[in-house]
């Protein structure tokens, strides 16, 4: 069963469970939902914590097993592993897509960013060593989500600039390309401060040819330190 379908089922069951539980609390205590009068707060707190956990696990902001774990070394597959070298033309086209990604992000052209993904593509934000993505956004939601998350940069007249390096590209038998690289992100306030290193990250991408253009199937950003939030970048 596809992961999105599983998430949808979890959400539906959770909504039914929460609704039934809240109705039970209301029937027993009298006051309307939202009031704490007559409710056992210890029980309510436990129930609330469980509900929050399940909501996170069933939401679009959570994706299991989408990130490299602490012991995984995917870069080894690019030499003598399961991947073969792309042709020079294919390598050029993949690097061109990566460069378009960097320029698009630097200029906060989030409508243009969505166009770099296939329709079913996804963006994942990872924490070091954690196999579960802390943020998952579908290609169709990228523009709206990123316009909100990156509002801080626009409000302070600041820019972030991405420098891509150490690019590894391998091709699978099905014609898709696996990419691993590192990125340095600098940030500065225009006309006020010099560029300063903001953070460094690993980027993992799966890319395919969609018509005449290379596009992302998945794009995974894994900063070297925990706590880097997309909203600040």
Q: Are residues 83 and 119 in the same domain?
A: yes
Given pLDDT bands bounded at 50, 70 and 90, which one contains residue 75? confident
**Count of domains forming the chain:** 2
Q: Are residues 49 and 103 in the same domain?
A: no
Find out whether 207 and 92 touch, Cβ atoms under 8 Å.
no
Q: Domain holding 215: CATH number? A: 3.10.450.50
Give the closest residue to 145 by CA, choosing from 154, 157, 153, 136. 136
Q: Are residues 115 and 172 in the same domain?
A: yes
Does a structural domain hold residue 67?
A: no
Q: Are residues 17 and 99 in the same domain?
A: no
Q: Are residues 121 and 218 in the same domain?
A: yes
pLDDT higher for 215 or 8? Answer: 215
| pLDDT reported for residue 155 | 82
| pLDDT reported for residue 177 | 97
How, if at all, do strands 117-125 and 158-171 pair?
Answer: unpaired
> Is 0.75 surpassed by the pTM of this model?
no
Does a structural domain hold residue 66?
A: no
Given pLDDT bands bounded at 50, 70 and 90, which one contains residue 22? very low
Does a structural domain hold residue 63?
A: no
Does a structural domain hold residue 221?
A: yes
Q: Which residue range is the domain that position 80 belongs to?
A: 74-232
Consecutive H or E run containing 196? strand 196-210
Please give the C-alpha separations between residue 58 and each of 14, 100, 139, 213, in angstroms, as whole numbers: 9, 32, 18, 33
pLDDT tens digits, one per residue of 97-128:
999 999 999 999 989 999 999 999 999 988 87
């Amino acid at each position: 069963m596809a992961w999105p379908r599983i998430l949808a089922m979890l959400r539906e069951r959770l909504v039914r469970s929460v609704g039934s539980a809240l109705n039970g609390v209301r029937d027993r205590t009298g006051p309307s939902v939202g009031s704490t009068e007559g409710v056992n707060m210890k029980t309510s707190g436990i129930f609330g914590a469980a509900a929050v956990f399940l909501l996170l696990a069933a939401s679009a902001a959570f994706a299991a097993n989408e990130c490299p774990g602490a012991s995984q070394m995917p870069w080894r597959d690019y030499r003598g592993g399961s991947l073969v070298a792309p042709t020079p033309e294919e390598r050029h086209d993949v690097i061109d897509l990566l460069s378009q990604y960097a320029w698009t992000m630097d200029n906060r052209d989030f409508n243009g960013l969505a166009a770099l993904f296939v329709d079913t593509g996804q963006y994942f934000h990872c924490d070091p060593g954690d196999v579960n993505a802390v943020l998952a956004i579908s290609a169709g939601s990228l523009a709206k989500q990123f316009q909100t998350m990156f509002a801080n940069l626009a409000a302070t007249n600041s820019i972030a600039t991405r420098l891509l390096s150490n690019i590894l590209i391998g091709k699978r038998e099905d014609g898709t390309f696996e990419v691993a690289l590192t990125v340095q992100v600098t940030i500065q306030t225009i006309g006020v401060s010099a560029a300063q290193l903001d953070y460094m990250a690993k980027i993992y991408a799966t890319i395919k040819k969609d018509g005449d253009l290379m596009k992302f199937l998945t794009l995974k950003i894994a900063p070297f330190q925990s706590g880097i939030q997309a909203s600040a970048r």
